């Protein structure tokens, strides 16, 4: 008898929370119709949100916090989203969060920042080292390492353009700077990255100093 009663308890016990959870879910979903729409849009762009966060913070844990905070801020402000470009909108939130929170913290450690933009060599002379020698042996992680050496504002512009494939207008919207500045940052960012890739290739012995100096 006792065994039967226990058995019954075990059979009924775990089902209860599921019923309560689904009921609660049904209730709040019913009262919040925007949730499904937001979740669908956010899930689609989450890899970009997380990837951008990761490439900005260069730390997985910070990236997790930053991406999550951006998603939450976006959800809270979803009724103010104009319905045009969700990815650009949420990346703008992410960028603002990063600037306000993380970059303040990291600013001291940066060798070059927005204020020092003019200090970057205007042309950052592209090396004459053959591209194939620099790039052929590079794997994703090495490219990421070189990218991480590019100053924040240039890195953000380059990755929004070449990784996230946003247009100049969208990048201007995300970073809240004029298109001319976007153009300049992308160009300089690529030139700096090229230099960093070459430096990395030298360090790793993919190319020789003599070739690099040619």
Partner 1 sequence: MNDIELISSYLDGTLDEKERTEVLARLENEPQLRAQYGSMKSVKQLLSDRCTAPVDIENDWKQCKNRLDEIDKSSQAERFVSKYAWAMAASLFILVVGTGVANRLNPSRILHASEVNRYAASLTPGLPSTTNSSAIGDRYGLNFGKPALTVSGVASGRINGLPISRIDLQDVRGSMRLVAVQGASNIDGTTPSEDGTFNRCQIAQINAVGWRHGNTALLLIGDRNYSELEEVAHELIR
Q: Which stretch binds partner 1 (CB under 8 A): 82-90, 95-103, 109-117, 135-143?
A: 135-143
Q: Per rule CB under 8 A, is residue 124 in the interface with partner 1?
A: yes
- What single string gives the DSSP state of each residue in 157-193? HHIIIIIS---HHHHHHHHTS-HHHHHHHHHHHHHHH
Q: Per rule CB under 8 A, is residue 193 in the interface with partner 1?
A: yes
Burial 124-157 (b: 16+ CB within 10 A, else e): beebebeeeebbeebeeebeebbbebbbbbbbbb
Q: Per rule CB under 8 A, is residue 212 in the interface with partner 1?
A: no
Q: Per rule CB under 8 A, is residue 32 in the interface with partner 1?
A: yes
Q: Which stretch binds partner 1 (CB under 8 A): 83-91, 106-114, 133-141, 205-213?
A: 133-141
Contact, 110 vs 151, CB < 8 A? yes
For CA atoms 164, 166, 170, 171, give the dihedral sign: positive
Here's the x/- map for partner 1, 139-168, by CB under 8 A: it reads as: xx--xx--x----------xx-xxx-x--x
Q: In the chain, what is the straight-line distance between the N-terminal and C-terminal CA atoms, in Å?
A: 91
Which are the contacts of 198, defined by CB distance < 8 A and separation ≥ 6? 127, 129, 134, 207, 212
| Cβ 7 to partner 1 shortest distance, Å | 33
Q: How far, in Å, CA of 182 to CA of 187, rounded?
A: 9
Count of residues of this chain found to bind partner 1 when the rule CB under 8 A is applied: 56
Footprint (CB under 8 A) of partner 1, residues 48-107: 48, 50-51, 54-55, 63-64, 67-68, 71-72, 75-76
**Residues of the shown chain interacting with partner 1 in the complex, contacts defined by CB under 8 A:** 24, 27-28, 31-32, 35, 38-39, 42-43, 46-48, 50-51, 54-55, 63-64, 67-68, 71-72, 75-76, 122-124, 126-128, 131, 135, 138-140, 143-144, 147, 158-159, 161-163, 165, 168, 183-184, 186-188, 190-191, 193-194, 197
């Amino acid at each position: 008898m006792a065994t039967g009663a226990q058995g019954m308890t075990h059979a009924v016990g775990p089902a209860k929370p599921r019923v309560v959870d689904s009921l609660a879910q049904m209730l709040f979903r019913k009262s919040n119709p925007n949730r499904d729409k937001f979740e669908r849009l956010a899930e689609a762009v989450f890899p970009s949100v997380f990837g951008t966060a990761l490439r900005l913070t260069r730390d997985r844990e910070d990236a997790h916090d930053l991406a999550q905070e951006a998603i939450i801020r976006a959800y809270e402000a979803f009724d103010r989203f104009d319905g045009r470009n969700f990815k650009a909108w949420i990346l703008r939130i992410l960028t603002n969060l990063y600037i306000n929170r993380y970059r303040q913290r990291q600013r001291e450690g940066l060798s070059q920042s927005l204020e020092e933009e003019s200090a970057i060599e205007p042309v950052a002379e592209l090396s004459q080292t053959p591209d194939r020698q620099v790039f052929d042996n590079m794997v994703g992680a090495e490219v990421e390492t070189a990218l991480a050496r590019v100053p924040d504002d240039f890195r953000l512009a380059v990755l929004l353009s070449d990784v996230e494939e946003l247009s100049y207008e969208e990048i201007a919207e995300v970073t809240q700077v004029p298109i001319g500045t976007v153009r300049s940052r992308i160009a300089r960012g690529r030139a700096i990255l090229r230099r960093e890739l070459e430096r990395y290739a030298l360090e790793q012995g993919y190319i020789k100093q003599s070739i690099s100096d040619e």
